[in-house]
C-alpha cells in the first residue's frame, strides 16, 4: 500500500491532535483550507462524510445540487468568479462518473477544483462491488492529479496536497477518492498545509535573458499585436497587463477566457480573437510583425489553419506551462513564468512609443465590421429580436459591472462579442475549451454564491438550458438570486448555422420543440417574463435586474440568425468572413 510522502520541509509545531474519524478529518481538512462552501450530492459510499458535515453546517455550508454534473459546474463558477478553489463532493459509481464532464471542463480551462468522491470499502476494490467504478482510472486523463485514499490517516495530507496542486502553477481539477473504510477509520488529526513536491515545478522561474530578447523584439516592432488569455486573470496580472500594453501602445485582442481582464472600452482593446471573433484582430494577425501571446494557448478555434497563421510574424509567448510552448505555434522567444512577474519585468525593459497608424488599421476594420455586422445585430432593422440587442440592453442597464455566465453555442459567441466589462475582471464565465452545453445554469449558481454582492446573469440557449435544467431545484432550495436569460430560437443554433453553411441546410436533429419554460420555472417559484416584442425588452431586463430574487427571462429571438464574422474550419484567420 502506498503512502503519501512527507514533503513538508519546515517542521511546524504540531498542535494537539484530536482523535477523529476519517470522515471528520475530510471535513476538518476542508475547513483548514479555508473552504466554507461545497457543492455535492450524497450517496452510499460518501455517507460518513455527509454525517460529519451535519455537525459543522455553520462553518462549512453544503449546497445540494440536483445532479453531480451541476456540482462540478457550480464549483467551477465559484472558482472562476472568486479565484478560489471550488469544491465538490459525490458518492462512488454513478456519482463519481457524473463529475467527469465538469472535471474535463475544468482541466481544459485551468480551473482550480477539488473533487472528493466516496469509494467502496478497500476490501471490495476491483470486485465489481455495488456502485464501484474505477474513478481514479476514469478521471486520470482529465485531472491534474488524483489519488485514492484507503486509510484514514492518509486523509489530511491527501487533501492538503490536493488543494496545493489544484491552485498552484497552472490551476486545474484534482480528485481524491476515499474508500468507505478510510472514512470510518480513526486517526490523530494533524493538519499541515502542503508546501511542495520535488517532482512538480508549479511556476518556472523567470529567465531575464528571455525578457531582454522579448523586449528587443517588441522595441523593434512597428506592427505589434498582443493576444491575451486567462493567464492574465489567473495570475491577477490585470494591472501589469494594462501597464505593459499602454507603455508601448500595443493593440491587444483577447480569447474568450481572457475577456473582462481589460476594460472593453480601453483604446487598445481591439476585440475578440478566433472563429467568431472580431474582424480586425483576426485579419491583422496575418499582418502584424510581432505577435505577443500572454497566458493563452493558441487553441485551434483561435488560430484556424496553423500553416497560414501569423507566418510573417516573430512570436513571443508568455506562459506558465512549458508544454504549451511550440505546441501549436512555433515561438521565437518563450518567456516562462507567472504572467504578473513576467509582464512587470518586460514592461520595465520595453520602450515607450506610439503605434498610431498601425492602430488606425484596426479602427478601419472595426468600422467595416460595424457597418456590415454589428450595427444590424445591435439595432436590427427587422421585427425579430436578435441575440445581440438583448446583450446590449443588459450592457446599458448594468454599466458593464455584472458577471456574465454563458452556456455554449450562438448565444455564447454573441455574449462574448457584445458584453461590455469595466473595471471588473473575472466577470465572464464561460466554457471555453470543452464547450460544455449545460454549463451555464449551475455555473451561475456557483458564481453568485462566490460574489453575492454582484449581479450574476446567466445567458443560455434553449438547448443548453434543458441540459442542466434540474438545477432550478437548487435555485429553489437555496433561494440564490441569479438571473437567467434564455435566448430561445427553437434551434440548436450553432449546429444549425453550420448545417446551413456547410451541410446544404439539412437541419438534422437541430429543431427543438420546447415546453413552456415559464410554466416550468413557475413550479420552482421563480419570477419570470417572456419577451416577444422589442418594445418590451428594456423594461423586462430592467425588471429582472431590479428583482430581488432569482428571475427567469425568456426572449424569443430570430430562429435562423447566424453569428458572423466567421473563420470557417480549415480557413486562415485572415480569410474571416463578414457574411
Catalytic residues: 68, 130-131, 180, 494
Residue 568 binding another protein, by CB under 8 A: no
Nearer to another protein, 106 or 482 (CB): 106
* Closer residue to another protein, CB minimum distance, 141 or 193: 141
As measured in angstroms, the least distance from the Cβ of 323 to another protein is 4
Stretch that binds another protein, among 195-203, 261-269, 347-355, 563-571 (CB under 8 A): 195-203
CB of residue 257 vs another protein: minimum separation in angstroms? 19
Q: Which of 66, 73, 144, 392 binds another protein (CB under 8 A)?
A: 144
Contact assessment for residue 272 and residue 417, using Cβ atoms and an 8 Å cutoff: yes
As measured in angstroms, the least distance from the Cβ of 141 to another protein is 5
Q: Point out which span in 106-114, 189-197, 352-360, 561-569 binds another protein (CB under 8 A).
A: 189-197
Q: What is the CB neighbour count within 10 angstroms for residue 195?
A: 13
Residues in binding contact with another protein, number by CB under 8 A: 24
334 vs 541 by CB, closer to another protein: 334
Out of 207, 321, 490, 560, which residue is the one contacting another protein (CB under 8 A)?
A: 321
Closer residue to another protein, CB minimum distance, 198 or 579? 198
200 binds another protein (CB under 8 A): yes
> Closer to another protein at the Cβ: 111 or 398?
111
C-alpha cell of residue 219 = 522595441
Q: Which of 326, 371, 396, 516 binds another protein (CB under 8 A)?
A: 326
According to the 3-state scheme, what is the secondary structure of 130-173?
Answer: CCCCCHHHHHHHHCCEEEEECCHHHHHHHHHHHHHHHHCCCCCE
Judged by CB under 8 A, does residue 126 bind another protein?
no
CA angle 419, 555, 369 (to 5 degrees): 40
Cβ distance to another protein smaller for residue 109 or 462:
109
Q: Shortest CA distance to 156 belongs to which of 55, 2, 28?
A: 28
Cβ 167 to another protein shortest distance, Å: 13
Q: Which one of 234, 325, 391, 566 is in contact with another protein (CB under 8 A)?
A: 325
Q: How far apart are CA 80 and CA 317, in angstroms?
A: 24
Q: Kindly state whether residue 378 participates in binding another protein, applying the rule CB under 8 A.
A: no
The correct pick among 18, 94, 193, 322 for binding another protein (CB under 8 A) is 322
Q: Which residues of 208-234 are buried (b: 16+ CB within 10 A; e: fewer)?
A: eebbebbbebbeebebbbbbbbbbbbb
Q: What is the DSSP letter of 99?
A: T
Residues 458, 443 contacting (CB under 8 angstroms)? yes
* DSSP helix/strand/coil, 348: helix
Residues 147-186 that bind another protein (CB under 8 A): 148, 165
Min CB(96)–another protein separation in Å = 16
DSSP 281-312: HHHHHTT-SEEEEES----HHHHBSGGGSSTT
Q: What is the DSSP string of 408-463?
A: SSHHHHHHHHH---SS-SS-EE---SS--TT-HHHHHHHHHHHSTTS-EEEEEEHH
Binding of another protein at residue 5 (CB under 8 A)? yes
Q: For residue 115, what is the enclosing H or E element?
A: strand 113-119
- Cβ neighbors of 381 (< 8 A, separation 6 or more) are none
Residue nearer to another protein on the CB measure, 165 or 413 = 165
Taking the C-alpha atoms of residue 139 and residue 218, their distance in angstroms, rounded to an integer, is 42
SS3 145: strand
Report if residue 513 touches another protein, rule: CB under 8 A.
Answer: no
Q: Is 136 in the site for another protein (CB under 8 A)?
A: yes
Q: How far is 62 from 74, CA to CA, in rounded Å?
A: 12
**Grid coordinates representing 389?**
440587442
Enumerate residues 6+ apart whose C-beta is below 8 A from 390.
459, 485, 487, 537, 541, 555, 557
Can you tell me which of 28, 41, 78, 145 binds another protein, judged by CB under 8 A?
145
Interacting residue with another protein among 34, 94, 130, 195 (CB under 8 A): 195
| 2, 57, 354, 504: residue in contact with another protein (rule CB under 8 A) | 2
Nearer to another protein, 17 or 140 (CB): 140
Binding-site member from 64, 122, 124, 196 for another protein (CB under 8 A):
196
Rule CB under 8 A: is residue 198 a binding residue for another protein? yes
How far is it, in rounded angstroms, from Cα 234 to Cα 41?
Answer: 28
Positions touching another protein (CB under 8 A) are: 2, 5, 136-137, 140-141, 144-145, 148, 165, 195-201, 205, 321-323, 325-327
Amino acid at each position: 500500500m502506498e503512502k503519501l510522502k512527507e514533503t513538508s520541509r519546515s517542521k511546524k509545531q504540531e498542535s494537539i491532535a484530536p482523535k477523529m474519524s476519517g470522515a471528520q478529518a475530510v471535513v476538518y481538512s476542508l475547513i483548514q483550507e479555508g473552504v466554507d462552501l461545497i457543492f455535492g450530492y450524497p450517496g452510499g459510499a460518501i455517507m460518513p462524510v455527509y454525517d460529519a458535515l451535519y455537525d459543522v453546517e455553520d462553518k462549512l455550508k453544503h449546497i445540494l445540487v440536483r445532479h453531480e454534473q451541476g456540482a462540478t459546474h457550480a464549483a467551477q463558477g465559484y472558482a472562476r468568479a472568486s479565484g478560489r478553489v471550488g469544491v465538490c463532493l459525490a458518492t462512488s459509481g454513478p456519482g463519481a462518473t457524473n463529475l467527469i464532464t465538469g472535471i474535463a471542463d475544468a482541466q481544459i480551462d485551468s480551473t482550480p477544483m477539488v473533487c472528493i468522491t466516496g469509494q467502496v470499502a478497500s476490501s471490495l476494490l476491483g470486485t465489481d462491488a455495488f456502485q464501484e467504478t474505477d474513478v481514479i482510472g476514469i478521471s486520470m486523463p482529465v485531472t491534474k492529479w488524483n489519488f485514492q485514499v484507503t486509510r484514514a490517516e492518509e486523509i489530511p495530507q491527501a487533501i492538503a496536497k490536493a488543494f496545493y496542486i489544484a491552485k498552484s502553477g497552472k490551476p486545474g481539477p484534482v480528485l481524491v477518492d476515499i474508500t468507505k473504510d478510510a472514512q470510518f477509520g480513526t486517526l490523530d488529526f494533524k493538519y499541515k498545509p502542503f508546501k511542495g513536491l520535488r517532482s512538480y515545478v508549479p511556476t518556472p522561474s523567470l529567465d531575464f535573458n528571455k525578457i531582454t530578447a522579448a523586449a528587443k523584439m517588441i522595441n523593434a516592432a512597428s506592427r505589434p499585436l498582443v493576444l491575451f488569455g486567462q493567464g492574465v486573470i489567473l495570475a491577477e496580472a490585470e494591472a501589469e497587463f494594462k501597464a505593459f500594453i499602454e507603455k508601448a501602445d500595443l493593440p491587444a485582442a483577447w480569447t474568450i477566457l481572457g475577456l473582462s481582464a481589460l476594460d472593453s472600452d480601453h483604446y487598445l482593446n481591439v476585440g475578440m480573437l478566433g472563429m467568431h471573433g472580431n474582424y480586425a484582430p483576426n485579419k491583422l494577425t496575418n499582418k502584424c510583425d510581432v505577435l505577443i501571446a500572454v497566458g493563452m494557448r493558441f487553441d485551434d478555434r483561435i488560430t484556424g489553419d496553423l500553416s497560414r497563421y501569423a507566418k510573417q510574424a516573430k512570436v513571443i509567448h508568455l506562459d506558465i506551462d512549458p508544454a504549451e510552448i511550440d505546441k501549436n505555434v512555433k515561438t521565437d522567444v518563450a518567456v516562462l513564468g507567472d504572467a504578473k512577474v513576467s509582464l512587470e519585468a518586460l514592461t520595465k525593459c520595453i520602450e515607450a512609443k506610439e503605434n498610431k497608424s498601425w492602430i488606425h488599421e484596426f479602427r478601419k476594420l472595426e468600422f467595416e465590421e460595424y457597418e456590415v455586422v454589428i450595427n444590424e445585430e445591435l439595432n436590427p432593422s427587422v421585427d425579430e429580436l436578435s441575440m445581440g440587442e438583448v446583450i446590449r440592453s443588459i450592457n446599458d442597464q448594468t454599466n458593464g459591472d455584472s458577471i456574465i455566465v454563458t452556456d455554449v453555442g450562438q448565444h455564447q459567441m454573441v455574449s462574448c462579442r457584445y458584453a461590455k466589462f469595466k473595471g471588473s475582471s473575472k466577470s465572464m464565465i464561460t466554457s471555453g475549451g470543452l464547450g460544455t452545453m449545460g454549463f451555464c445554469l449551475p455555473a451561475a449558481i456557483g458564481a453568485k454564491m462566490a460574489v453575492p454582492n454582484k449581479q450574476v446573469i446567466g445567458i443560455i440557449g434553449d438547448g443548453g438550458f434543458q441540459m442542466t435544467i434540474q438545477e432550478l431545484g437548487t435555485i429553489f432550495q437555496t433561494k440564490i438570486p441569479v438571473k437567467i436569460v434564455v435566448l430561445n430560437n427553437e434551434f440548436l443554433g450553432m449546429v444549425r448555422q453550420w448545417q446551413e453553411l456547410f451541410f446544404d441546410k439539412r437541419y438534422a436533429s437541430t429543431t427543438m420543440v420546447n415546453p413552456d419554460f415559464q410554466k416550468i420555472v413557475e413550479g420552482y417559484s421563480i419570477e419570470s417574463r417572456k419577451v416577444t416584442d422589442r418594445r418590451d425588452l428594456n423594461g423586462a431586463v430592467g425588471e429582472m435586474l431590479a428583482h430581488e430574487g432569482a428571475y427567469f427571462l425568456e426572449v424569443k429571438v430570430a430562429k435562423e440568425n447566424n453569428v458572423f464574422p466567421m473563420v470557417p474550419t480549415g480557413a486562415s484567420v485572415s480569410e474571416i468572413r463578414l457574411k
